Each structure stands twice: as C-alpha cells, then as structure tokens.
C-alpha cells in the first residue's frame, strides 16, 4: 500500500470500532460507506485523471463493494490562493474551469459529486466564498437568488448530462473539433431524439502562462463521421446556447442551419473562458411558430394597481429607491395545445428589444407553474402574489430584498443579456424544458436578475466583490404582441420531430356494388332489387369470381354492412324496397 494518499488514515481504520483508541477491529464493521474529498485548483483534465487514479487506489485497498465518490468541496482555485486570486465564481475564468472539470469527470465516469451552493462575501480571514448561487447566509432561512456565472456554466453541462428525463447516465459519443485538447474539451451526449454537444475554452494559452487569457477560438465542429449515428437531415436547425464574455449568460447566441452540402460541419467562435451547449436534432425536423396568448407589464409603487395589458412594450427594471414606482416585470403566456410535447426537439423564446440601458442588463426568465391563472386585461402587481411580493419596503440591496418568489413551483428557464447596442435585435432563450411538460398554457415572467449584492468591503487584497448597481435604476423593454410591426412581436419557435401522416384509406366501391356484393353473399332478394335499381343500366355488373356459399346464419358484420347500404339507398334515391 502507498505510504500516503488522501483519506489513507480513514481507509486504514475502516474496521476499527469506537473508541478507536482501544484498537478493537471487526471485519464486518465498516466506518467508511462513501469516499469524500475536496478538490481545488486543478484544470479539468488534471482533475479527472487525479480523481480517477485516486478512486482506483482507494477501491483497491477497500475490501467491500466499490465506494461512491462525493466531491464535497470543488473549486477552480487552490486553498492557498483564495486571498491572492483576483477572481470569484462570477468570473468567466472560474466558470469555464468548472465546466471543464465537470465534462472531464463525466468522460472518466465520475458521476457523483456535491458542490457548495452559495456565494457569499465574508470577512473571515479575508476569504470570499464561491458557489453556484448567490445567497445571504447570514439571514435565515437563507434566501437564494439567481446563479453565479460559474453556477450557470455548471448548469449548462449538468442539464445536458442528465437529459430531458433528469435521470442521467446518458451515452457519451466521440466528439471531434478543430481545437480538441485538454483545455478545450468536447463531449457529445445522446438524449433520445436529440444530442447535446458541449464545448469549453478553458483558457490556458501556453505551458508557462497558466493565468493568461486565451484568445477567441474559431472552433470547427465536424459531424461528418457521426452523420449516420445522428441521423442528421439537411435543413435541420441546431440551437446554440452560450456563456461567454461576449455578452451571453447561457442564452441562445445563434441558430445554425445544418447543410448536407457542407457535410453538416459548421464553425463557431468561442471567446476566452466560454462554454457552448448545442442541441442537435436527430432525424427530420418540422419548425413551427407560436404567437403569444397574452402579455403585460406590471409596475410596483404608485402603479401597482394599474393594468398595462394593451401597451406596445414589455418593460423590465428595478428601482434603486424605496418608492419602486419604476420597478417592473413582464409576463407573457403561450398556448401549447396544438402540438404533442413528446415530439419536441427545442423551443426558443424570441423577444425583440425596444429599449436599452447605458450598460449591460442581465434578466432572468422564470417559467411559471400557474401560467393560466392570469390574463393580460386584468393583471396588475397587486394581484400577482403567486410570483411577486405584492408589498415592497426599502430599496433592493440584498437577496433578502428580492421581490420575485422562487417558490410555488416556478423554475428559472434562462437569461437574457440586453446590451446598449441591442435595439431592435432579437434575443433568444432556450425554453425547451418549459414546453416539454403536458400543459395547455405555458407562461413566463421576465425580471431583472434575482440577485443583488451591494457588498464593497475592503477584503484585502481583492478589494471586495463588485457591487450590483441595479443599472442605476434604468429599465429595458421588449415589443409586446400589440406592437404595430408584426415582425417585432414575441413568439416561440418550436422544432418538432417529423411525424409521417397515416396512410390513406383505400377507396370504397360505389354503393350499388356494395349492395350487389352483399346481395350475392346473403342471398337477400331485396338487396338484389335495390342493386339493380341503383345501377345506371338496370343490369347487374359482369359476374365476378364465384363467391363462397353464405354462412348460416349470416355473420353479424355482413348484416350491419347490408343495413348501412340500404340506409344510404333510401336517403339518396326514390326507389322503394
């Protein structure tokens, strides 16, 4: 056995009874039922190799069934560098590193891990805590806001690995790009009739510049070798979700039309420390557009009882004062009754920007659990308590003051980044998970991101976490369904599996022939007279092949058939029977 490795003392004493000082051992007693460790500062490839090697080592000397592995602390920085590194979990460097670590761990089959959840400022030793969400741990019951950048990157990878059924353990296929390396990992996840292509730019340029920023990478994605496996069709659309310094926070950055003439290959530019999650359809795809059923802005403050359902824009912003007259969120709902959710590949919400702020504004898109409980003609802030705090007090200075409720079954569907130059451009959000449920109405709330920290304390040497300024109270807006320009109105773009229509029914013979056949089969003279009356010539048709003798009694099916024929004749002719 090696002299030292992480967890060795515990493994050496897995059969030692308590108190351990007594030195009593029992081979049937196990102190160790899972293997937990902390990981800091490793790049994705190194982390996966080190973890895999450690697991092999531990389970070699553990004499029971293989131990499940839990990474109970997981960070992109080392413990000794917390006070020196000029980054937090809101930085793209840490986000890309975490996504890379997750991808490599999945490739190595290391599927069981746990993360710290909250990102909180602390004066305890000058350490800034990182996590997947922004939280306020000093106030029970520990309110949680929106994701950190690292949390969003982790979510992009984890959602793809879990698949639409959230069961995980999906097949991983080989993935080929023009920039494959330990720092630019690629994974292809099969999830029933769609595939998720994951790409990361982990950001190391040379062996001697580990902290250096990588350049934007033009990544060529080659699907030629996977055409048969993927069952790709010419003209199908791949949905590209991006998290990067280019101004994307996990939302849809592009829709790529796949071309057979190009061997289904395409190129994308992945900026420094960025993450891409691309949904590829399998088989033939059918596009469809859904217009909104209703949409409305609601305002707080002095306007909390005023309805804006007929306005031509949807306004979103958070006031920096305690009056909240300019605090607003937008609601929008769509009918989902016209398609079968089991045929859904992707659903993309499209909104056109009608108003911008002077700085980037990040918005949260919340999928509502009770989308049919409101209508645009009566919705106001004061009756939207199913998702909003209807009475606000004080300025929004922390997660505790957030007014959007994350309970009642609502779920974060995605984000929208509105930049100063985005006027009249289309913003897209992948809302496939919301439309995959069996519901007649799907609804969303759009609000400025549900997290806030005004912490600017002097934690040396970093200087604190940059404060969330709420964009100075500015607002952005999107065109509503009442917009005068039809092309600017909201919509959801669906990409569905092609379902072939059922084969056509064989043509039925003329009624007179039906009656004639039944008369021959049953020997009923009334049907014979009816058939002769229906024939244009008054003569029977040429004799066909001999028919078998009629059963005795006639089968019920033929009796019913003959009766229907007689009924048709009575309604269509004046002949008597």
The residue from 128, 162, 196 where one domain ends is 162
- Do 304 and 426 lie in one domain? The reply is yes
Only one residue has tokens 């992707």, namely 346
Q: For residues 230 and 171, give the distance between their C-alpha atoms in angstroms, rounded to a whole number.
A: 13
End-to-end CA distance of the chain: give it in Å, rounded: 101
> Is the Cβ–Cβ distance between 239 and 228 less than 8 Å?
no
Q: For residues 41 and 555, give the distance between their C-alpha atoms in angstroms, rounded to a whole number.
A: 82
Q: Quick one: tokens of 347?
A: 């659903």
Q: For residues 527 and 24, give the distance between their C-alpha atoms in angstroms, rounded to a whole number.
A: 99
The DSSP secondary structure of 126-182, one letter per residue, reads TPPP--SEEE-TTSTT--EEEE-HHHHHHHHHHHHHHTTTT-----EE---BTT-BT
In terms of residue numbers, what domain contains 471? 293-331+349-482
- Do 16 and 59 lie in one domain? The reply is yes
- Do 391 and 527 lie in one domain? The reply is no
> Is the Cβ–Cβ distance between 290 and 335 less than 8 Å?
yes
Chain centroid to CA 528: how far?
Answer: 66
Q: Which of 335, 305, 302, 332 is nearest to 316 (CA)?
A: 332
Q: For residues 518 and 25, give the distance between their C-alpha atoms in angstroms, rounded to a whole number.
A: 90
- Do 553 and 458 lie in one domain? The reply is no
> Is the Cβ–Cβ distance between 147 and 243 less than 8 Å?
no
> Is the Cβ–Cβ distance between 481 and 489 less than 8 Å?
yes
When divided into structural domains, the chain yields a total of 3
This prediction's pTM: 0.80
Start-end of H helices in 33-148: 44-61, 92-107
Whether 143 maps to a domain, the answer reads: yes
The DSSP secondary structure of 494-507, one letter per residue, reads EEEE--PPPPPPPP
- Do 324 and 369 lie in one domain? The reply is yes
Chain centroid to CA 145: how far?
Answer: 19
Residue 173: what pLDDT?
A: 80
The residue from 104, 130, 162 where one domain ends is 162
Q: What's the CATH number where 63 sits?
A: 3.20.20.80
Whether 167 maps to a domain, the answer reads: no
Whether 180 maps to a domain, the answer reads: no
- Do 435 and 560 lie in one domain? The reply is no
- Number of residues that this document lists for the chain: 577
> Is the Cβ–Cβ distance between 444 and 348 less than 8 Å?
no
Say how many C-beta atoms besides its own lie within 10 A of residue 313's C-beta.
Answer: 21
Q: Which of 118, 111, 198, 210 is nearest to 153 (CA)?
A: 198
Q: Which of 283, 229, 235, 240 is nearest to 262 (CA)?
A: 235
φ, ψ of residue 269 in degrees (nearest 5) = -105, 120
Q: For residues 146 and 160, give the distance between their C-alpha atoms in angstroms, rounded to a whole number.
A: 20
Residue 519: what pLDDT?
A: 53
DSSP code of residue 225: G
Considering only CA atoms, give the Rg of the chain.
33
Start-end of H helices in 376-510: 432-435
The residue from 464, 482, 500 where one domain ends is 482
Q: For residues 457 and 124, give the distance between their C-alpha atoms in angstroms, rounded to a whole number.
A: 12
Start-end of H helices in 436-510: none
pLDDT in tens, the chain (577 residues): 566 777 788 888 889 988 887 889 988 888 888 887 777 777 777 777 788 888 888 888 888 888 877 777 766 665 455 555 556 777 788 888 888 888 888 877 776 666 666 665 544 433 356 678 877 766 666 677 888 888 899 999 999 998 888 888 888 887 766 665 666 778 889 998 899 999 888 765 443 344 444 455 666 777 776 777 778 889 999 999 999 988 899 999 999 999 989 888 888 888 778 899 999 988 889 999 999 999 999 999 999 999 999 999 999 999 999 999 999 999 999 999 888 888 999 999 999 999 999 999 999 999 999 888 899 999 999 999 999 999 888 888 777 888 998 888 899 999 999 999 999 999 999 999 999 988 899 999 999 988 766 554 444 444 455 667 889 999 999 999 999 999 999 999 999 988 888 888 777 655 545 554 555 555 566 655 555 555 555 455 555 566 566 566 544 443 333 333 333 333 333 332 2
Residue 210: what pLDDT?
A: 42
Residue 126, CA distances (Å) to 89, 275, 459, 570 in order: 16, 30, 5, 96
Whether 427 maps to a domain, the answer reads: yes
- Do 515 and 478 lie in one domain? The reply is no
Which residues, 6+ apart, have CB-to-CB distance to 481 below 8 Å?
291, 292, 294, 295, 489, 490
Alpha carbons within 13 angstroms on the beta-carbon side of residue 6 total: 14
Whether 269 maps to a domain, the answer reads: no
- Do 30 and 156 lie in one domain? The reply is yes
Show the CA angle centred on residue 499, arms to residues 498 and 502, nearest 5°.
150
- Do 420 and 301 lie in one domain? The reply is yes
Whether 248 maps to a domain, the answer reads: no
Q: For residues 206 and 29, give the distance between their C-alpha atoms in angstroms, rounded to a whole number.
A: 50
The DSSP element (H or E) to which 236 belongs, if any, is none
- Do 388 and 462 lie in one domain? The reply is yes
Chain centroid to CA 439: how far?
Answer: 17
- Do 377 and 515 lie in one domain? The reply is no
- Do 401 and 324 lie in one domain? The reply is yes
Whether 536 maps to a domain, the answer reads: yes
Q: Quick one: tokens of 265?
A: 């290959």
Whether 381 maps to a domain, the answer reads: yes
Q: Quick one: tokens of 439?
A: 């519901």
């Amino acid at each position: 056995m090696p002299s030292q490795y992480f967890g060795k003392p515990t493994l050496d004493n897995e059969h030692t009874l308590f108190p351990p000082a007594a030195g009593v051992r029992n081979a049937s007693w196990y102190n160790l039922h899972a293997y937990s460790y902390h990981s800091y500062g490793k790049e994705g490839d190194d982390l996966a190799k080190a973890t895999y090697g450690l697991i092999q080592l531990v389970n070699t000397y553990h004499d029971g069934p293989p131990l499940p592995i839990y990474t109970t602390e997981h960070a992109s920085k080392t413990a000794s560098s917390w006070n020196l590194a000029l980054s937090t979990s809101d930085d793209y460097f840490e986000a890309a590193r975490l996504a890379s670590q997750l991808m490599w761990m999945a490739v190595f089959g290391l599927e069981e891990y746990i993360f710290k959840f909250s990102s909180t400022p602390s004066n305890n030793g000058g350490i800034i805590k990182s996590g997947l969400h922004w939280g306020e741990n000093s106030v029970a019951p520990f309110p949680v806001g929106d994701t950190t950048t690292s949390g969003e990157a982790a979510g992009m990878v984890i959602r793809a690995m879990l698949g639409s059924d959230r069961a995980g353990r999906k097949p991983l296929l080989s993935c080929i790009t023009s920039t494959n390396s330990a720092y630019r990992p690629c994974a292809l996840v099969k999830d029933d009739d769609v595939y998720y292509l994951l790409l990361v730019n982990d950001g190391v340029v040379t062996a001697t510049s580990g902290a250096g920023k990588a350049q934007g990478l033009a990544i060529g994605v080659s699907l030629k070798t996977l055409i048969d496996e993927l069952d790709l069709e010419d003209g199908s659309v791949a949905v590209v979700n991006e998290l990067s310094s280019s101004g994307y926070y996990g939302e849809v950055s592009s829709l790529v039309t796949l071309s057979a003439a190009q061997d289904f290959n395409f190129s994308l530019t992945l900026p420094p420390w960025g993450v891409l999650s691309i949904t590829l359809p399998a088989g033939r795809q059918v596009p469809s557009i859904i217009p909104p059923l209703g949409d409305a802005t609601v305002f707080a403050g002095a306007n909390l009882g005023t309805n804006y359902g007929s306005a031509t824009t949807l306004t979103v912003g958070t006031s920096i004062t305690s009056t909240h007259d300019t605090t607003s969120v937008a609601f929008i709902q769509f009918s989902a009754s016209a398609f079968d959710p089991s045929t859904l590949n992707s659903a993309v919400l499209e909104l056109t920007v009608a108003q911008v702020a002077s700085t980037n504004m990040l918005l949260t898109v919340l999928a509502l659990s009770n989308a049919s409980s409101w209508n645009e003609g009566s919705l106001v802030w004061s009756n939207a308590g199913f998702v909003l705090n209807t009475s606000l007090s004080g300025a929004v200075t922390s997660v505790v003051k957030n007014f959007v409720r994350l309970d009642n079954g609502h779920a974060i569907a995605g984000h929208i980044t509105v930049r100063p130059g985005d006027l009249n451009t289309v913003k897209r959000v992948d809302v496939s998970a919301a439309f995959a449920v069996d519901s007649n109405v799907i609804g969303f709330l759009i609000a400025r991101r549900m997290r806030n920290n005004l912490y600017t304390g002097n934690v040396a040497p970093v200087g604190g976490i940059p404060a969330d300024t709420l964009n100075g109270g500015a607002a952005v807006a999107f065109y509503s369904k009442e917009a005068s320009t039809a092309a600017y109105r909201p919509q959801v773009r669906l990409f569905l599996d092609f379902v072939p229509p059922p084969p056509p029914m064989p043509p039925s013979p003329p009624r007179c022939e039906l009656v004639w056949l039944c008369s021959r089969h049953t020997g009923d003279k009334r049907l014979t007279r009816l058939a002769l009356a229906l024939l244009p010539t008054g003569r029977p048709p040429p004799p066909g092949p001999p028919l078998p003798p009629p059963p005795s009694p006639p089968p019920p099916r033929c009796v019913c058939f003959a009766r229907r024929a007689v009924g048709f004749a009575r309604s269509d002719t004046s002949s008597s029977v």
